[in-house]
Chain A
Amino acid sequence: MPSEATVTITVKLFASFRRGRFKEASRDYSAGARIADVIADLGIEPKDIGMIFVDGKHADPDRALRAGEALALFPLLGGG
């Protein structure tokens, strides 16, 4: 249940990160939670992280999340 001590964000997972997890979910985290905490909470190895976007812009793992933000996590991917 959201309260002053939590932030609600949307978490979006892509490619192999979806396996055993989800595509998109609304999640509550304690206020001040960093992206790295979300990654750990999802059981994703930090070394497997390719790209982190918050609201469509690059973000660092030690950035704290704010209410209403959309966090997108991708493994290392490429193409042409």
Chain B
Amino acid sequence: MVKIIRVNMTDRTVRVEPVPEAWLGLGGRALTSTIVAAEVPPTCHPLGPSNKLVFAPGLLSGTPAANSGRCSAGAKSPLTGGIKESNAGGTASRFLARLGIHALIIEGKPSGEGWFGLRINNNGAVLEEETETIGKGNFAVLEALNRRWGEEIGVITLGPPGEHMMAIANISVKDPDGKLRSFGRGGLGAVMGSKRLKFIAVDDSEGSNVPLVDRKAFLAASQRFAKTLIDHPVSGQGLPTYGTAVLVNILNEIGGLPTRNFTSGQYADHDKISGETMHDTIVARGGEPTHNCSLGCQIQCSQVFPDKDGKYVTSGFEYETIWALGADCCINDLDVIAEADSIMDDLGVDSIETSVMFGVAMEAGVLPFGDGQGVLRLLREEIGKATPLGRILGGGTAAVGRAYGVTRVPVVKGQAIPAYDPRSVKGIGVTYATTTMGADHTAGYAVATNVLNVGGKVDPLKNEGQVELSRNLQIATAAIDSTGLCLFIAFPALDIPDCLASVIDMINARYGIKLTGDDVVALGKKTLKTERAFNLAAGIGPEQDRLPEFFELEKIAPHDVAWDMPTEELQSFWKGFGD
């Protein structure tokens, strides 16, 4: 029997409730956005008592399905002021699903100075006062809780910037190696910190296998699904070999790699930070170039990156982080970037927001472009210690831009723009401008069709076809985000019809229902419309669906292009949702 666990931080109670009928068919992002839209006043202060932090595994989480390890977290974002869903790999979704937890809702806000830890097991959840781990980095939290409750314990954890409610703070989750994955974007760590919750420990040792109404049909569909992941070259070969950093050379080649705070589309030292170089370095040092972040992942896009002596530095070394510190901040050294990645894991800060913030900080003269040691120092000594400068930097890209009078500030709805320049990849520009999430590349990854020739071809340098492309991808992504499946299944899904067909068959076999492809599209659309309604009520109107002015005024090399999509065309995005 599935349940909702509701933790009230004001009166420190835990309630276990049945799942309302309307929420039963929802999971992941569909569920977190539905709950946030239903229970959080859109005009509330995101750090106040009325905001809620919701965790939800996906519709297929905990099943034998490959790549079903994603967990969603949602709230009103302190960074964007709108609705936020962020999802992570690691162990959370499997553990929550095995305990029959359909959603975990953290609400209210404690008075007083004390901190808390939440412990969840098959009997329910217990909220306890916590002192030992307060002020500690995420790795120390994992160590302490391993000692306390054994190494098998699942952990969702908050680092010191989250305790200080910085908008760059993420929420981190333990992975099967005992390292960290992230609910990265949108400052959800600040929300968790505002509720003075340092960790959520999940013991699934008495949990049970997730029930499958038609086990035989499920396993058959699951095999078909896994085959599509292996068969598609992106999920079957490219990603496992090179990781996401393989994109460095691609984006550089087409002039879409934002360089030196978005002043060029190409980086002279791209070869030093490329996925090919990362792969060769890892292999030479005895690391793991192919690695998964959660149980049952077939794609294995992660990696373990060691230092020159073969010692662990970081894992989950992503394109976004390498691009932002490499090309955008001009730090041409993978070892320095890897160390920064490790510090950001330990602090628990979004590696996109933080790194793009550093690019603006460099433009502001806080430190020079290329100053890798300066970045490490600012992370450890200022952000990590919540000094006044650390708090300014910890406010994120827009906050630093404002504090220093910078106009070249790459954000939409307050959230930093990721690793694709919209001037030369116009489809992703539409996604950045229109998604409810603020500048978010995963929300509708038009790069696939603009650049990578997956799911068709739409010229990245032209406005034609981009709004429709972004809309279709955003709808599909909202649906995938609700299943607990990793978004990278989208590559085979865009090219191999049996991929999505087998996903639908798995959902139907799991629940004993009869969803069609149209139902899945409808779920995605409804989720986006729910999010949009929340944002409008929160005061984020259609005029926010745009890119910063500098993209229109400044052309970038090598193609000498600016952002020139007519406003009416951009505004037509939401009109395409009908009623």
Contact = CB atoms under 8 A, between A and B. Distances in A.
B255 interface: yes
Among B237, B243, B445, B460, chain A packs the most CB atoms within 10 A around the CB of: B237
A74 B241 CA distance: 14
A78 B254 contact: no
Main secondary structure of the interface of A (DSSP, over half): mixed
A18 interface: yes
Contact of B452 (A50, A55, A72): A50
B319 A50 contact: no
B272 to A, nearest CB: 13
Contacts of B453: 50-51, 76
Contact of A79 (B243, B276, B459, B461): B243
A37 B212 CA distance: 53
Contacts of A18: 276
A5 interface: no
Given A15-B276, A56-B253, A80 B233 contact: no
A12 B238 CA distance: 18
B276 A78 contact: no
B454 interface: yes
A78 B255 contact: no
A58 B250 CA distance: 12
A79 B253 contact: no
A80 B237 CA distance: 15
B483 interface: no
A76 B238 contact: yes
B470 to A, nearest CB: 16
Contact of A77 (B452, B457, B461): B452
B246 interface: yes
Nearest to B248: A79
Nearest to B448: A78
Nearest to B252: A56
Nearest to A79: B244
Nearest to B245: A79
A75 interface: yes
Contacts of A14: 249-250, 253, 276
Provide the main secondary structure of the chain B interface. helix
A77 B234 contact: yes
B276 A80 contact: no
A16 interface: yes
A80 B445 contact: yes
Contacts of A76: 232-234, 238, 452-454
B193 interface: no
B251 to A, nearest CB: 10
Contacts of B460: 58
Contacts of A56: 253-255, 558-559
A68 B459 CA distance: 23
Given A51-B453, A56-B253, A78 B238 contact: yes
A51 B235 CA distance: 16
A79 B319 contact: yes
B253 A77 contact: no
A50 B461 contact: no
Interface in B253-278: 253-255, 275-276
A75 B558 contact: no
A7 to B, nearest CB: 20
Given A57-B461, A58-B459, A79-B243, A74 B255 contact: no
22 contacts: A12-B253, A14-B250, A14-B253, A15-B238, A15-B242, A15-B246, A50-B452, A51-B453, A55-B558, A56-B253, A57-B254, A57-B461, A75-B237, A75-B238, A78-B246, A78-B452, A78-B454, A78-B491, A79-B239, A79-B245, A80-B244, A80-B445
Interface of B: 232-235, 237-239, 241-247, 249-250, 253-255, 275-276, 301, 318-320, 441-442, 445, 448, 451-454, 457, 459-461, 487-488, 491, 558-559
Interface of A: 12, 14-16, 18, 48, 50-51, 53, 55-58, 72, 74-80
The 5 closest A-B pairs by CB, nearest first: A79-B244, A78-B234, A76-B233, A77-B238, A79-B247
